[in-house]
Chain A
């Protein structure tokens, strides 16, 4: 300890805590009842206001619509656990009741349904003219889509939604992620619903035979055969179709759009037709079971990360290296990589002929 010092003999530095005036002012401040009251009132009022406006902002109506120059647009659907069917037909109230038949829905906004785990079926009326590629994003338990007879723009063929041109399907728009569940249920004995009215019976059957259907679903794999008139496989068309084994791409198809076959984790083969011209970015990303990729000579554009995390150990190209450099517009990191300490691009083999079988 230091030498004892006599502080009464020293002139000390100014210290506000020993300043009587300061101490009194401080005491008056914190002992003042009205100041305390104002403090509490301001805090309570602002907290209550904040909670009210925040909950108001977060609250989501089941159905939200918007009037546009092209008609009524379904801008958002925030379904609950009990909402198993989404009706895209007319303007409805926020709970999806009281459809106004004088105001038909003509468009569906992008991300109108986003990360919904409950929805099983979507019904699209004949008035709907435009559905964005991302309108139904991450609807993990979607079993099927119905399109009303007479819709000139869309049709469902074998469970897949197509865009029409002159009455013919020309673009694959959307395939429900759990399509295989319906097929597995059918294998167990369910009647596949052809309209929203049949959904309840179907869901009841699924509930009563859940174990059997789940077991069948676990092993189920299916193939999609695109109609001959289809030219384009759209953005996210078959994304998250985990049980899809193969998509038959006929001659005539010219484009696989961005993420067309994204996360089709059980897809084993993909056979690009000679008419194919464009492979979009992430078109086959996370298709880990695809071991063989053959790029025909007609392809002039491959998007970035087109085959990211694919199972292929090599890429086979019909063109020569010089031709490919000259004719093909390659996106960044289009060649998939494999890890061997560091990630390394798999080899690209040029001048290849397609393997048969």
Chain B
């Protein structure tokens, strides 16, 4: 029996190696499964060395070599807060239109970006603080921030607008050139590979960390890291894999097997990297990180082009034109965005917390080399098994149930962590091991919910497309406009508390037992309150498989109609649609009746439709 099943399995692969099994509603041939596997494997593994570099207090490079004040990072965020709105507005118009804008819009956008670039360059080259009175209140206030001065504030501002402008210009250019060929997600890998490779070399070799003056050191480091961050090399292949089929079950199958197995190389790379050097040794950043990133990223590009995006949508030239206000108000129609926003707002209570795993690894267990690799690998693997059972769990439980479970899980685990720190804090090894186990179990259980969240995030794009004709993924960021001001202030609470408890730019304070407890437990207690409150918004979530199946049927139908010249924006009548009945979030409440009343064709007919 098992033998026969195995034979059938291999036969199925052979039969559908080049062409997918349309009878089952599949869109992806097995050959592409291999390409997805290899593309994701290398793309994901390339991110491993990149994970050691980031402009933040928890980055080991910053921690061991730069000695930058903790609160100075908050100042950077504050300077970027108003600018972020401007970048968002312009960026959404560009990206949600896939780079194809009306001529007038395109001219305005290009002028804006070029102007930003030039002004940023001027601010970088010249010291704009000399325009202010040296003994004025503004200069005095700016000089009072740790690691910041009036001069460096203008430099930081200049850096932000310089790279904002440069990034925007690059984005338009590369989208136009590469999106038609590579799709809307993975084009960025091609546009950024060479530049990222050069940037990762510069990060290790330029001795910016040796600059004596902390104000100078801070802004020049920010410049260097901004250059590094300009060229993203995210896991776009995984995003592509999530959208390589309009068939939800096929998507989940791809995500469960080739995608998750592909993460194995990343685990191996993540384990090997710490063996090759100490974080406190600068040669680790000079040789080890570029030595891994460059060849692996190059291999990503080899397979990336062989994976297709199959999002049901009209042809590019017939796509929905997205104006700024249309995009804004359309995403605000999506009630699930409001639920997520409310939860994010509450979650801000935990912003600014120190990474407890970094403290456990480096200051409690004091790991390095092989021990560090093994424990981090074990920690990373906690998500592997849940990934294989996630599809079954997701079928059995609703998204709402899973989200509520996650908040309860965090609440209980945080309470346990605080308890362990309070009771056994002085028994360093016992405390560290217990915390590790708690966090491991939490991560294990959380992984299923993460898969559900990731899946739901894609589904929200589909739902938004159902509502508005485009996924509006970038416009979804409008909610951050409301929450950013609040989270900015709330996000300062913990860092300011940490400062008064001894944490600034010197991480050695975590060697002090009394300080370690305060620096970890108090922020955790605040975070715990946040997780309890986050259960409230998710109680209102009611978008499940049923609703999503209907949405996908409508999107397929819409794509067909577009092929025949029926575009919503130009529709003047002539077609017959079912009655909607009562609607919830623009989806019929009685979906089954609506579907039964429609002529949507057989599965074979649907599968025969060529997708864009």
Contact = CB atoms under 8 A, between A and B. Distances in A.
Contacts of A54: 74, 78, 81, 488-489, 492
Contacts of B568: 15, 17-18, 23
Interface string A53-90: 11101111110000000000000101011000000000
Contact of A114 (B466, B499, B574): B499
B127 interface: no
Contact of B428 (A1, A12, A332): A332
A22 B144 contact: no
Contacts of A281: 513
B594 A13 contact: yes
Nearest to A115: B504
B428 A333 contact: yes
A98 interface: no
Given A13-B594, A36-B325, A59 B145 contact: yes
B429 A2 contact: no
Contacts of A339: 368-369
Chain B interface bracket (under 10, 10 to 19, 20 to 34, 35 or more): 35 or more
A51 B78 contact: yes
Nearest to B215: A81
Given A2-B610, A137-B502, A13 B486 contact: no
B69 A46 contact: no
A61 to B, nearest CB: 7
Contacts of A46: 482, 485-486
Contacts of B145: 58-60
B329 interface: yes
Contact of A47 (B85, B366, B371, B605): B85
B146 interface: yes
B234 interface: no
B328 A30 contact: yes
Contacts of A22: 586
A294 B160 CA distance: 56
B81 A50 contact: yes
Contact of B488 (A50, A110, A111, A332): A50
Interface stretch (B379-387, B452-460, B551-559): B551-559
B146 A332 contact: no
B610 A1 contact: yes
B207 interface: no
Interface in B81-118: 81-82, 85
Interface in A97-127: 110-111, 114-115, 117
A282 interface: yes
Contacts of A14: 554, 577-580, 588, 594
A7 B579 contact: no
A26 interface: yes
B326 interface: yes
A44 B333 CA distance: 21
Contact of B81 (A51, A263, A282): A51
Contacts of A356: none
Contacts of B273: none
Contacts of A305: 366, 428, 511
B571 interface: yes
A14 B600 CA distance: 11
Contact of A17 (B149, B486, B558, B600): B558
A3 B564 CA distance: 12
Interface string B209-234: 00001110000000000000000000
Contacts of B329: 26, 29-30, 35
B467 interface: yes
A23 B82 CA distance: 33
A281 B514 CA distance: 12
Given A47-B485, A137-B509, A12 B557 contact: yes
B571 A18 contact: yes
A30 B599 CA distance: 33
A277 interface: no
A342 interface: yes
A53 B369 contact: no
A341 interface: yes
A49 to B, nearest CB: 7
Interface in B324-339: 325-326, 328-330, 333
A258 to B, nearest CB: 7
Interface string A1-38: 11111011011111111110011001001110001100
A170 to B, nearest CB: 22
Nearest to B594: A14
Nearest to B600: A13
Given A12-B576, A60-B145, A80-B143, A53 B512 contact: no
B469 A43 contact: no
Contact of B504 (A29, A30, A114): A114
A37 to B, nearest CB: 12
B469 A17 contact: yes
A134 interface: yes
A115 B485 contact: no
Interface in B248-265: none
B484 A50 contact: yes
Contact of B325 (A31, A111, A137, A263): A31
A307 interface: no
A262 interface: yes
Given A26-B329, A51-B82, A57-B489, A15 B557 contact: yes
A29 B334 CA distance: 14
B491 to A, nearest CB: 9
Contacts of A47: 81-82, 85, 484-485
Contacts of B78: 51, 54-55, 58
B209 to A, nearest CB: 14
Given A137-B506, A258-B513, A332-B428, A16 B141 contact: no
B428 A11 contact: no
Given A22-B586, A26-B330, A10 B599 contact: yes
Nearest to B597: A11
Interface string B585-610: 01010000011011111000100111
B3 interface: no
A304 interface: yes
Contact of A138 (B333, B508, B553, B608): B508
A16 B453 CA distance: 26
Contact of B577 (A13, A78, A138): A13
Contacts of A114: 499, 502, 504, 506
Contacts of B575: 7-8, 12, 18
A259 B81 CA distance: 41
A284 to B, nearest CB: 12
Contacts of B48: none
A5 B560 contact: yes
B36 to A, nearest CB: 25
A308 interface: yes
B492 A57 contact: yes
B501 interface: yes
B609 A2 contact: yes
Interface string B472-502: 0000000001101110110010001001111
A302 B82 CA distance: 53
6 closest residue pairs by CB, A with B: A50-B485, A115-B504, A17-B568, A2-B608, A30-B329, A46-B485
Given A7-B561, A12-B561, A263-B508, 17 more contacts: A2-B610, A10-B576, A13-B595, A17-B558, A26-B330, A42-B482, A43-B482, A46-B485, A50-B486, A51-B81, A54-B492, A57-B492, A61-B144, A115-B67, A115-B69, A137-B506, A343-B368
18 contacts: A4-B564, A10-B576, A12-B557, A14-B554, A15-B558, A18-B575, A50-B81, A50-B486, A50-B488, A51-B82, A58-B71, A58-B145, A111-B499, A111-B501, A138-B504, A258-B513, A262-B511, A339-B368
Interface of A: 1-5, 7-8, 10-19, 22-23, 26, 29-31, 35-36, 39, 42-43, 46-47, 49-51, 53-55, 57-62, 76, 78, 80-81, 110-111, 114-115, 117, 134, 137-138, 258-259, 262-263, 281-282, 285, 304-305, 308, 331-333, 339, 341-343
